[in-house]
């Protein structure tokens, strides 16, 4: 009621004023309307934006670009354009850019932009669309201030598919200019220095990235390898395709479906080729660093590669994550936690990064924080068996064996993975349930006659049972296979009981780790 009363009084006074000054009022109102129309029009003109706010932006998220091609088969292309724009912007050291994994969780959603920005911890959001028609491609983007949902700038770009990399670089540079972020001369050179790639090779590369990103299964990873190899066949000097190929072989190795010698030498060749072709590619140095960890056991060389990758792209979440895992293996858990937290800043919704942080916190003895972190990951996606396994290992380290067994069993139910079976056997062993542990171990050994079971995991179970001779027998088999898990010899608490044995020091020397 008070508001209505004030409006009524104001209306009465205004009517009196208008009667006395009708001509003046009409002229003033008309002038204000014209001014408002001009402001509104300027707001939506391509390349226009209010300059008072854009200069404050120091963190952005590129939401998945919408596919306007009306062809579901072109989703890989729209996703590829999104990732390319993220990659280009992430090269700017003064700008925090959310990684692809986190932004893709919002694909197809209609949640309010301020809400998305809060979840991703960014000040601005870039959204837009991609339309591919024949040999032409059109990219439309707009910059939105997250807190107010205010449009700051919008523009569209069109060009031939053969020039799509130049088009992407142009978009990234335009965004950098609009938000007034300071580019170093090196960053300007990297953004402007686009290497020509044939349309067919780039198309195959995008399909490889699509299968690498969308579904993390053995089948999808093998499809990504097929497409990367197609890209390389069409352009033998395509460094990014070689880096992608190395990543895919590294991932296949983590599934433990075959001995490491089946995949790691191929990852090594691809990573080395990628670096040789383009020494400024952070992805290539990250892949080579991981190869040096997993296959070459070249610890100093691995650290140099990871540090080089991070220097080239300080916002590259994968580089920080793998470097963090390396530091954990080297017995530097506090520094490892810092690296995983940096990875989390770039990729806050990544299951792998968040789960890696939980495991690293556990290695650092921060069990309560580790459990809380792992439970948050479980809330993000309870259907992933690897998440249950990660939480189970933290429970096991803390001596919460019942909780650990529940999580390990969920991991087995979801995947049937042999290493999750080994987790159960080990936990039974250290919790005093020897009979159950031995039964599970027998099942694993029987299974190994028909399907690959990593010797390293069988060695862990024997260590839990106090059977040192058998433990070293299986760990030596892991050495003969060149198992990448031997990097954790010193950091793995399941092997602590073996440390006083002289054979453990011998094994450390063979792997090249300090005693």
Instruction: Dump pLDDT digits (tens) for 61-72.
Output: 999 999 998 788
pLDDT of the residue at 11: 37
What are the tokens at 91? 């090269």
Q: What percent of the chain has pLDDT over 70?
A: 88
At 275 the pLDDT is 98
**% of the chain with per-residue pLDDT over 90:** 57
Q: What is the mean pLDDT of the chain?
A: 86
pLDDT tens by residue, 412-448: 999 878 888 999 999 999 999 999 999 999 999 999 9
Beta carbons of 427 and 453 less than 8 angstroms apart: no
- Alpha-carbon distance of 252 to 49, in angstroms, equals 47
Q: Which residues contact 184 (CB under 8 A, 6 or more apart)?
A: 93
- The three-state secondary structure class of 106 is helix
Q: Right CATH number for 51-189 from 3.65.10.10, 3.20.20.70, 3.30.70.260, 3.40.50.10610? A: 3.40.50.10610
Over the stretch 350-394, which tens digit does the pLDDT of each residue have? Answer: 888 999 999 999 988 999 999 999 999 999 889 989 999 999 999
Give the C-alpha separation, 415 to 401, whole Å: 21
- Give residue 199's pLDDT band: very low, low, confident or very high (50, 70, 90): confident
Q: What is the mean pLDDT of residues 466-472?
A: 98
* pLDDT of 214 strictly over 80: no
d(CA 386, CA 392): 10
Q: Is the model's pLDDT at 4 over the cut of 70? A: no
Decide: 346 and 122 in contact? Cβ < 8 Å.
no
pLDDT: which is higher, 19 or 504: 504
What kind of fold does domain 195-274+283-292 have according to CATH?
1.25.40
Query: Is residue 42 over pLDDT 50?
Result: no
What's the pLDDT score for residue 20? 38
pLDDT at 359: 93
């Amino acid at each position: 009621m008070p508001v209505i009363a004030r409006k009524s009084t104001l209306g009465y006074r205004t009517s009196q004023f208008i009667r006395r000054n009708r001509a003046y009022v009409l002229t003033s109102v008309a002038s204000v309307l014209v001014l408002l129309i001009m402001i509104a029009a300027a707001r939506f003109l391509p390349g226009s934006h209010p300059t008072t706010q854009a200069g404050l932006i120091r963190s952005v998220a590129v939401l998945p670009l919408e596919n306007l091609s009306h062809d579901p088969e072109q989703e890989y292309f729209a996703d590829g354009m999104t990732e390319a724009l993220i990659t280009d912007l992430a090269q700017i050291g003064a700008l925090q850019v959310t990684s692809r994994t986190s932004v893709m969780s919002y694909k197809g959603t209609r949640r309010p932009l301020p809400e998305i920005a809060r979840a991703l911890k960014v000040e601005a959001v870039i959204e837009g669309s991609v339309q591919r028609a024949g040999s032409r491609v059109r990219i439309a983007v707009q910059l939105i201030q997250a807190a107010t949902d205010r449009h700051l700038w919008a523009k569209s770009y069109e060009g031939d598919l053969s020039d799509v990399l130049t088009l992407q670089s142009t978009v990234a540079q335009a965004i950098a200019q609009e938000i007034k972020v300071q580019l170093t001369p090196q960053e300007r050179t990297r953004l402007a220095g686009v290497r020509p790639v044939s349309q067919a090779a780039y198309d195959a590369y995008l399909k490889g990235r699509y299968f690498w990103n969308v579904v993390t299964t053995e089948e999808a990873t093998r499809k990504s390898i097929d497409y990367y190899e197609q890209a390389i066949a069409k352009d033998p000097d395509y460094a990014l395709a070689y880096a992608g190929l190395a990543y895919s072989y590294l991932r296949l190795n983590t599934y433990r479906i075959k001995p490491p010698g089946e995949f790691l030498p191929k990852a090594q060749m691809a990573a080395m080729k990628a670096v040789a072709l383009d020494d400024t590619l952070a992805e290539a140095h990250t892949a080579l660093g991981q190869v040096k960890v997993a296959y070459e056991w070249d610890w100093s060389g691995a650290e140099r590669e990871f540090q080089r990758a991070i220097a080239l792209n300080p916002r590259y979440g994968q580089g920080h994550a793998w470097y963090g895992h390396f530091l954990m293996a080297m017995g530097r858990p506090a520094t490892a936690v810092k690296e995983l937290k940096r990875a989390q800043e770039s990729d806050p919704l990544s299951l792998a990064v968040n789960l890696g942080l939980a495991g690293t916190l556990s290695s650092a003895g921060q069990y309560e924080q580790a459990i809380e972190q792992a439970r948050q990951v479980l809330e993000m996606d309870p259907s992933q068996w690897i998440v249950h396994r990660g939480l189970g290992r933290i429970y096991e380290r803390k001596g919460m064996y019942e909780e650990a067994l529940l999580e390990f069993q969920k991991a087995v139910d979801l995947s049937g993975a042999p290493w999750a079976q080994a987790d159960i056997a080990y936990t039974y062993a250290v919790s005093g349930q020897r009979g159950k542990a031995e039964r599970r171990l027998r099942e694993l050994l029987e299974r190994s006659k028909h399907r690959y079971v990593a010797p390293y995991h069988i060695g862990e179970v024997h260590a839990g049972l106090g059977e040192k001779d058998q433990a070293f027998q299986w760990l030596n088999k892991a050495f003969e296979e060149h198992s990448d898990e031997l990097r954790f010899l010193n950091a793995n608490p399941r092997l602590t009981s073996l440390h006083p044995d002289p054979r453990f020091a011998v094994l450390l020397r063979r792997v090249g780790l300090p005693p």
